[in-house]
Amino acid sequence: MLKYLGARDGRWSVSGLLTQRSLSVLLIAGAVFYVVLILAQDPQKFLQFTLNGIVIGAIYAMVAMGFTLVYGTVWFFDLSYGAMATIGGYTVFYLSGQQRTIGRGSIHNTAVDIFVGALVAGVVAWVLYTWLYPNLRNRFDRRLLLASGFVLSILAGGYTGFLLSQPLSLNLIFGPVVGVMVAILAVWLLHLALGRPKTTSLKMAVAATVGLALGAYTALLLAVTPGANLYLSWVVGAAIAGATGLALYRGLYFYLRRRASSPLIMLVGSLGVLLTLTALVSIVFSPDGRPLPPPFGETPWRFWGASIKPFQVFNIGFTFVVFAGLVLLLFRTSFGKAVRAIGDDEEVARIVGINAPVIIAVIFALGAAIAATGGILLGEDLGIKPTNGLVLLLKGWVAAVVGGIGNIYGAILGGFVLGMVENYGVWFIPAAWKDAIAFGLLILFLSFWSRGLLPRK
Amino acid sequence: MSSSAAERGQEYALETKGLLKQFASVKAINHLTIAVPRGGITSIVGPNGSGKSTLINMLSGTLPIDEGMVVLDGTALRVIKPYDSPSHGVTRTFQEVRLFDQMSLWDNMLVVLTKRNVLGALLERAGTAHSSRAQELLEMVGLWDKRAAFAEELSYGQRKLLEIARALAMDVKLYLFDEPFAGLFPAVLEKVKVLLQDLKKEGKTIIFIEHNMDLIRELSDYIFVLDSGELLAEGEVHEVLARPEVIEAYLGT
Amino acid sequence: MIEKLKAVSPWRRFTAQPGNVGAALRKNSQFLITLAVIALAATFMLSQGSGFAVRVIQLSAIFAILAVSLNLVIGYTGLLSLAHVGFFGIGAYSVAVLTTHPAYEQVPGHIRYFDWPFFAALPVGMLVAGVVALFVGGVLSRFRDDIFVLVTFGLAVIAHRVFLFWLPVTRGAFGIHAIEKPSIFGFVFDGKTEFMLLTLGFLALVVFVSWLVVSSSFGRVLMAIREDEGAIEVFGYKARNYKLTIWVISAMMAAVAGGLSASEQTYIDPQSFVLLESIFLVCIVILGGLASLVGSLLGALVFVLLMEGMRFIDFIPDALVGQGRLAILGILIVLLMVFRPQGLVGRYKL
């Protein structure tokens, strides 16, 4: 029932004259007129506003993609998603805090290291127990397996804690891990590209060699570049947020969802999580806004009187990379097929043998990691603040609804539309009206195109 | 088609003329024209997906009418809003029982008896008005002792009974029952049977959807057979159920 | 094995038998919780002195007005609204703007003076809130469930931006200062205790009106809308009208709280009307119990005690008190959703 927002109550009934089509035409004509008007008024300013819109739109698109991924699978609004963005931003801040003394000097906090370490240990233990253990338990001694799994989890937790306590040597400690990840990713992508119809051992050997070489090269490159710490901290931020998302699902939402009679219970529950996490971040790092160290230099590129920072260009490109990755994952892999099947009908998916709880948990981790990436990109651009998570969540929510909720293509489109509308909208009025404009757009869309620009199927 | 009913010299409680309901490319109700005689029990049968529930939903305003019209009690209607259906003399039950789950049985009954306009409802005290009628109906279906319980605490049969009692509380001319007997134990089934027959004695018109042929033969006076949103047959029950095309529609495919 | 243990836990077995203490406890749990909360609150307040008690009662009375009015919408009608802070703000700003006296003005020449008495300004505030609610409600009436929540989120943000940027009326971030205390027939409610009594009087009025509403047939229709809007419409009720009516009533009650709050603080600025306040209100309503007027009163009391009480815990630095309260509130909400979705004394589960 909840799947198609429009199907529930989408009828517009003020009068027969105001049909949806004529209103659409009117709105589009108005929008075009407005854009032409401001373009004619000041082309340079228009270019700058457009660039701003695309830059912020990329971040909204990123957040909306993760949001729509989670919502389109479990069909409830997870408000704690906003806290994941905050966690991402603050992990980067935490790892870079000792390089740049901001305000009160070192922000190192052993409690945070231990807490995050324990979290990662728990998540690793869960992953080993649900994925590896069922496959291996009939071949090896179970007690040995459990014990080694336990040791592995503790090691992973300890490693994470150690990592957090040594931000200066992130490139030496974490670089090899990233190298391994790159290698795995490369092998997987090559496998998709080369060997999908029929995998031969030669092709696999080529893939493995290329992948390993790439991984080793990455690790080496990171190790000899001290400036790589910032970029590594992005990965750590996304990973920690992912672990948090997974833990939240397995620890709370899974049980809440089994008993929930209405989507509102989940909404309020996740609101509680959002409040708690935001408050905890504020307690540890103070509620004030903080800057993050600038990546790729501060000097903006200028052309035709408008300017854009190198980082902002990167951030637009990266959004499209994530988008492409998600599309590949959702539409080219069996995992993606399972995700879509759960999104269409979880009961049926269960019946045909899809392990829904595990896949949903992975989706939560992935969504959280994407949210964290959005939080980091926003933080690098405009600084971080504990309450930014809520703002980003609402913007992502709006973008996802405008684009057509549950549809990954809609999310990226909605993000850019939202960014542009926000920026063009404040042409004549103070910039702080942006949020109000975003929600005005939302209400307009829900009233006339209640299923968004690109509805899910 | 409706001439057979007209010959009997009755006026109709309900007529539909060229009724159409389309879901995407599927015509759930395809230009359906029927006339339901006044008084008595009329059953609608048909295989799954033949548009029986859709028809009930359109008659009660739960689904908007795409094309055609409905004549209720002599008034031709092209649009039926759900909240207008009682004033056209229609009430209904649902195929999947829809009670007010987190309200007591008492409230479930009273809520359909009170004033409809906002101001009137505001000035009416909840505890006192219409309580005798609610008590009468709850006693009739044997749920008076449970009046303080939430509706969600009832068993399936009790829920079905409560929903029927709730429909009976509406003082209208035409009652639409969507599978009132589905999944009931024999004892409860007998009770529902009696309720329907009592209603018939009061001179009301009853339309119900049912799959069990024995029940249909026993209860109904008139029958419509639907298939893919179109009328396959209509007439006296025993005669229609003996027709080969009706038997085929049920047993074939 | 574990399943079996779970099914017949000792507590379950103890309480399942009729006639023993456990069953009695379960049966009267709502009453007992009410008593316990009030007793705890009273002990704590008395131990801190009468000034503290007056402050807590004053604050919780204002929150209680808001919570009761919000409960009409969330608990009885099933519309989880986060836009309530907007109506709260409209009430506060109406009273502030209409009662401002030129003599107290700090930036002269920026705003019109009305210099109305409080008791004339308050009804106007209610009226403004009601009219705004009517329009907003018209837009909202087409949304349901989580989309409704999202739109009310948006309305709260829009309301805050309006308070912040509609300079000619609200004076933006600078706020409005020196708001007069209410006075009637020459008697001024300027003392703390007097104002507390006034607030309690308004609270009693709001609770009485709410009780009238929910104990009428109208209230029962609201609950039916909450349970199944499609089903109740078939029985001849135009759900939209019912929802709009309760929405407007609730908004007007929130405006009363706003007016009282402005007058009590003698100063308002947009920071008092941010989205977070709405989230607090929802938490209070759920904490106390959905569809329970007593629950909302209790919820407000517990919430204010939690907020004020944390100042007295020594080991938390002052700067972190606000955040600490938020964290505790968040955890409380999660626990409520898991273990007691009907709140402290409610019966209805979200």
pLDDT at position C179: 80
Task: Select from C228, C241, C349 the Cβ nearest to the Cβ of B100.
Answer: C228
Task: Select from C139, C146, C162 the Cβ nearest to the Cβ of A263.
Answer: C146
| Domain co-membership, B84 together with B209 | yes
Neighbours of chain B (3+ CB pairs under 8 A): C
Taking contacts as CB-CB distances below 8 angstroms, the residues of chain C near A269 are: 333-334, 337-338
- Neighbour tally for B156: CB within 10 Å: 13
Taking contacts as CB-CB distances below 8 angstroms, the residues of chain C near A276 are: 326-327, 330-331, 334
| Domain co-membership, B229 together with B107 | no
Per-domain residue ranges of chain C = 69-273, 276-311+318-350
pLDDT per residue over B1-59, tens digit each? 444 444 444 578 888 998 998 887 888 888 899 999 888 899 998 888 888 899 999 99
The reply to whether C318 touches chain A by the CB within 8 Å rule is no
Q: A276 exposed, middle or buried (CB, 10 Å; 0-12, 13-18, 19+)?
A: buried
Phi-psi region of C307 (alpha: psi -120 to 50; beta: other; left: phi over 0): alpha
| Domain co-membership, B75 together with B136 | no
The domain spanning residue B187 has which CATH number? Answer: 3.40.50.300
User: Which residues sit opposite C188 in a β-bridge?
Assistant: C183
Binary contact (B170, C235; C-beta < 8 A): yes
The DSSP secondary structure of C308-325, one letter per residue, reads HHGGG-TTS-HHHHHHHH
Where do the H-state alpha helices sit in chain C? 2-7, 10-16, 21-27, 29-48, 50-71, 84-99, 118-140, 145-165, 167-170, 192-214, 217-227, 229-234, 239-265, 275-288, 293-309, 318-339
pLDDT at position A371: 95
Task: Return all residues near C49 (Cβ < 8 A) that are at least 6 apart.
Answer: none
| Domain co-membership, B247 together with B234 | yes
| Domain co-membership, B116 together with B223 | no
The reply to whether B110 touches chain C by the CB within 8 Å rule is yes
pLDDT per residue over C137-181, tens digit each? 998 988 887 789 989 999 999 999 999 988 878 888 888 887 878
Task: Select from C146, C158, C286 the Cβ nearest to the Cβ of A439.
Answer: C158
pLDDT per residue over C107-121, tens digit each? 555 566 777 888 989
Smallest CA–CA separation between C327 and chain B, in Å?
31
Binary contact (A268, C282; C-beta < 8 A): yes
Q: What is the ipTM of this complex?
A: 0.89
Asked if the model's pLDDT at residue C78 lies above 60, the reply is yes
Better pLDDT: B7 or A451: A451
- The verdict on residue B165 lying in a domain is no
What tokens were used for A139? 């071949």
Binary contact (B124, C218; C-beta < 8 A): yes
Binary contact (C337, A269; C-beta < 8 A): yes
Task: Select from C217, C234, C245 the Cβ nearest to the Cβ of B114.
Answer: C217
Nearest in space to A236 (alpha carbons), one of A97, A412, A94: A94
pLDDT at position A310: 86
Q: How much is the average pLDDT of B207-217?
A: 89
H/E stretch holding A453: none
The reply to whether C231 touches chain A by the CB within 8 Å rule is no
**Closest-approach residue (CA) in chain A for C141:** A9
Task: Select from A268, A275, A394 the Cβ nearest to the Cβ of C329.
Answer: A275
| Domain co-membership, B71 together with B149 | no
- The verdict on residue B149 lying in a domain is yes
Share of residues in chain C with pLDDT > 90 (%): 41
| Domain co-membership, B44 together with B130 | no
**Closest-approach residue (CA) in chain C for B57:** C234
Task: Select from B110, B112, B118 the Cβ nearest to the Cβ of C218.
Answer: B118
Better pLDDT: C11 or C45: C45
| Domain co-membership, B92 together with B104 | no
- Provide the CA B105 distance to its chain's centre, in angstroms: 21
Smallest CA–CA separation between B98 and chain C, in Å?
7
Taking contacts as CB-CB distances below 8 angstroms, the residues of chain C near A448 are: none
**Closest-approach residue (CA) in chain C for A251:** C338
Task: Select from A9, A263, A272 the Cβ nearest to the Cβ of C334.
Answer: A272
Binary contact (B98, C217; C-beta < 8 A): no
| Domain co-membership, B139 together with B185 | no
Judged by average pLDDT, the poorest of C153-157, C252-256, C343-347 is: C343-347
| Domain co-membership, B13 together with B79 | yes
Number of domains in chain B: 2
Q: How much is the average pLDDT of A172-187?
A: 87
- Provide the CA A23 distance to its chain's centre, in angstroms: 34
Smallest CA–CA separation between C156 and chain B, in Å?
28
Taking contacts as CB-CB distances below 8 angstroms, the residues of chain A near C233 are: none
User: Which residues sit opposite B231 in a β-bridge?
Assistant: B226
- The verdict on residue B162 lying in a domain is no
The sign of the torsion formed by the CA atoms of C159, C160, C165, C169 equals positive
* Owning domain of residue B129: 100-153
Which of B111, B125, B130 has the highest number of chain C CBs within 10 A, making it the mutation to test binding with C? B111
Share of residues in chain A with pLDDT > 90 (%): 35
pLDDT at position C128: 96
pLDDT at position B48: 83
Cβ(C244)–Cβ(B118) under 8 Å? no
| Domain co-membership, B18 together with B80 | yes
Binary contact (B110, C241; C-beta < 8 A): no
| Domain co-membership, B20 together with B144 | no
Binary contact (C332, A265; C-beta < 8 A): no
Asked if the model's pLDDT at residue C219 lies above 90, the reply is yes
Which of A248, A278, A283, A435 has the highest number of chain C CBs within 10 A, making it the mutation to test binding with C? A283
pLDDT at position C110: 57
Q: How much is the average pLDDT of B120-143?
A: 87
- The verdict on residue B112 lying in a domain is yes
Neighbours of chain C (3+ CB pairs under 8 A): A, B
Q: Is B18 helix (H, G, I), strand (E, B) or coil?
A: strand
